[in-house]
């Protein structure tokens, strides 16, 4: 099992540097999971790309629909945010990073598994407390 954060999963839908590496996780036989906030974060990333002019409305709608359909298959498996909220709050203060990002870290720590992120700040701040964090 591996935890992927939204910076990685969004690359499944939005073409950008690292998309090929991110897509490899979806194709591997490894079970992928994340906190439930992932659902909204990927939709927000697609919406943000549309709002900033990176994609058109039709493409954004298609990507959002594909994401929601993919969630129906159970990949990635979503864990309730409440499972890791208290830990994420403490981690946020400890590493001085956003609580929402620390939900992914807390989930990976609870499961004692890898966390893969494309967020260099999260990677840099968290690697001292979770040796299983990897940069995409």
* Helices 37-51 & 57-72 angle (0-180, nearest 10): 170
CB 94 within 8 A of CB 102: no
Q: What is the rounded average pLDDT of the residues 60-65?
A: 98
Q: Which residue has the tokens 């993919």?
A: 70
Residue 29 above 70 pLDDT? no
Residue 135 above 70 pLDDT? yes
CB 37 within 8 A of CB 100: yes
Other beta carbons within 10 angstroms of residue 58's beta carbon come to 9
Residue 26 above 80 pLDDT? no
Task: Give the total number of structural domains in the chain.
Answer: 1
Q: Which domain holds residue 109?
A: 2-135
Residue 86: band (very low, low, confident or very high) from pLDDT cuts 50, 70, 90: very high
Collapse the DSSP code of 79 into the 3-class scheme (helix H, G, I; strand E, B; otherwise coil) and give the result.
strand
C-alpha separations of 36 from 4, 41, 52, 56, 131 in Å = 12, 9, 25, 27, 23
CB 34 within 8 A of CB 74: no
Other beta carbons within 10 angstroms of residue 118's beta carbon come to 22
**Per-residue pLDDT tens over the stretch 88-128:** 999 999 999 999 999 999 999 999 999 999 999 999 999 99
**For position 87, which CATH number holds?**
3.40.50.1010
- In angstroms, the CA 4 to CA 37 distance is 12
Q: Considering the entire predicted model, what is its pTM?
A: 0.93
């Amino acid at each position: 099992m591996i935890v992927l954060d939204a910076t990685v999963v969004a690359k499944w839908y939005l073409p950008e540097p690292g998309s090929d590496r991110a897509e490899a996780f979806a194709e591997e036989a490894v079970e992928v999971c994340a906190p439930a906030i992932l659902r909204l974060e990927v939709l927000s990333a697609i919406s943000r790309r549309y709002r900033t002019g990176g994609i058109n409305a039709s493409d954004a709608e298609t990507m959002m629909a594909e994401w929601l359909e993919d969630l129906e298959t159970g990949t990635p498996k979503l864990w309730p945010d409440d499972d890791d909220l208290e830990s994420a709050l403490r981690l946020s203060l400890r590493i001085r990073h956003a609580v929402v990002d620390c939900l992914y870290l807390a989930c990976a720590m609870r499961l004692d598994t890898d966390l893969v992120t494309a967020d260099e700040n999260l990677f840099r701040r968290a690697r001292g407390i979770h040796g299983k964090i990897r940069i995409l």
